Amino acid sequence: MEKVFLKVLSEIKPSNEETKMLNEVSSKIIKVLEKNAKELGVNIQAVLGGSASRGTNMKGNFDLDFFVRFDSEKDIIEHYKLLITKSFDGFKIVHGTREYFNGIFEGYKVEFVPSIKYDSPNKAKNSADISFFHIDYLKKKFDKNPELKNEVLLLKQFLKANDIYGAESARSGFSGYVCELLIIYFKGFYNLLEYFEVAKPKVVVDIEKHYKSSDDAIKAFNKNKISGPLLVVDPQLPLRNAASCVSMTSFSEFIFKARLFLRTNDPKLFNIRGIKLSLVRERSLRRGTKLIAFKLKKEGDFDILKAKALRKLNQIESSLEKEGFGIYSYGVTDDSYAYFELESIKVSKAKKHFGPVVWCEPNNFSEFVKKWSIHGISKPYVFGNKLVVDVLRTEDSKDFIKKMLADYL
């Protein structure tokens, strides 16, 4: 197993040269921002954030995230846009909890996140203001145990290879921050795998022991914040679940792949394969399912498009099931196809619409018979112990899916 880990690390850990270049570009960006802020007469603090700030970034990852901290919201409104446009060319506004700029600088994908100089995360009202405080906390943890940085890289690669890395709604997986907290808590990737070998939801991780027990932690949280299978108490905000984005599907997939690796030591479980339409088609042929796929239009950031399309597919899936279609799988491929695997493409023209039991209240009986004698394609009748009527339904799934996806094609 150790040989597998060392081989994977040799492929994903940035070289000294890559790290040096990243640090030089980061320093250059901060100097430009500070110089122009001084000329504009505004007081800022520019700080490198994200995985690059604590050495848990992966090889070939040329993303740099900066917090541009201002004294007040008023300063952000008055000076942030002017500062970025004065400092860098070609950067574009992205809408979030606060608008921020992103763009390319010397080959790096750079984001400038505006935030306020709060002295405590408890005062922060915006997620960007909270995220700043992760930097110092994690730096201290990794400075104390630098060997854990490699363990984070192994976890990230394992999650990426199995398409459960990333907090965005397209994946509902494990964020980089959650990866770091899990490694700090379990003190290594292998220890984490061993724990998940026997784990069941709900898993509670509380690094700073804010709560006496897992039950106390669960009781303290709003139900909406712990609806998922994993509760990772934010070390600096005890009432924030850092893993609220992790879905039951991603959690289950991680347990499945962790158990497979512990039994096989298969290095292929670290290989990023992705999913293309050709693989979906091959799988459909093997299963004997009917495949329907449509090419999505290329528009803006693919991850955003994928997230929106997946939300639409969830709605379509629910509608198709109500119409009686058997759905095997559905999703969005890495080569921009939305697809459904179905047991059949067409169903009968009619479906049963069930009403109340035949011994329902007389008024309810009369209402059902009156309404559906007009709107049904049959007269009401009895099926089992319920009133039933035949109604028209969607017969052709392909036309229905295409119509529902019209905005994305």
- pLDDT digit string (tens) for 301-333? 787 788 788 889 989 998 999 888 999 999 999
pLDDT in tens, 237-255: 999 999 999 999 999 999 9
pLDDT of 397: 92
pTM for the whole structure: 0.80
DSSP bridge partners of 109: 63, 104
Give the residue from 99, 122, 141 where a domain finishes: 141
293 with 253, same domain? no
Give the residue from 242, 257, 273 where a domain finishes: 273
| CB neighbourhood size of 209 (10 A) | 10
Asked if 97 and 127 touch (Cβ cutoff 8 Å), the reply is: yes
The answer to the question of residue 4 being in a domain is no
Residue written as token pair 């309404």: 371
pLDDT of 225: 63
331 with 374, same domain? no
Rounded CA gap, 195 and 198, in Å? 6
The answer to the question of residue 25 being in a domain is yes
- Residue 77: which residues within 8 A CB-CB, separation 6 or more? none
- CATH code: domain of residue 127: 3.30.460.10
- How many domains does one find in the chain? 4
pLDDT of 122: 84
- CATH code: domain of residue 241: 1.10.1410.30
DSSP bridge partners of 121: none
Rounded CA gap, 260 and 264, in Å? 6
Residue 274 has pLDDT above 80, yes or no: no
pLDDT in tens, 54-81: 999 999 888 899 999 999 999 999 999 9
Going by pLDDT thresholds of 50, 70 and 90, the confidence category of residue 268 is very high
173 with 266, same domain? yes
342 with 355, same domain? no
pLDDT of 168: 75
In the predicted model, what is the mean pLDDT of residues 149-178? Answer: 91
Q: What percentage of the chain carries pLDDT values higher than 70?
A: 99
Q: Is 47 helix (H, G, I), strand (E, B) or coil?
A: strand
Which helix (DSSP H) or strand (DSSP E) does residue 355 occupy?
strand 350-357
Best CA proximity match to 207, nearest among 153, 270, 141, 143: 141
Q: In what order do the strands lie in the sheet with 63-70?
A: 44-48, 63-70, 108-116, 100-105, 92-94
Rounded CA gap, 102 and 68, in Å? 13
Going by pLDDT thresholds of 50, 70 and 90, the confidence category of residue 13 is very high
The answer to the question of residue 342 being in a domain is yes
pLDDT of 305: 84
Give the residue from 257, 273, 289 where a domain finishes: 273
The answer to the question of residue 6 being in a domain is no
Residue 8 has pLDDT above 90, yes or no: yes
Best CA proximity match to 139, nearest among 128, 129, 148: 148
- State the residue range of the domain holding 111: 14-141
Going by pLDDT thresholds of 50, 70 and 90, the confidence category of residue 224 is low
pLDDT of 151: 98
Residue 170 has pLDDT above 70, yes or no: no
116 with 162, same domain? no
The answer to the question of residue 167 being in a domain is yes
Which helix (DSSP H) or strand (DSSP E) does residue 391 occupy?
strand 386-392
From the number of C-beta atoms within 10 Å of its C-beta (0-12, 13-18, 19+), residue 117 rates as: middle
The answer to the question of residue 326 being in a domain is yes
From the number of C-beta atoms within 10 Å of its C-beta (0-12, 13-18, 19+), residue 247 rates as: middle
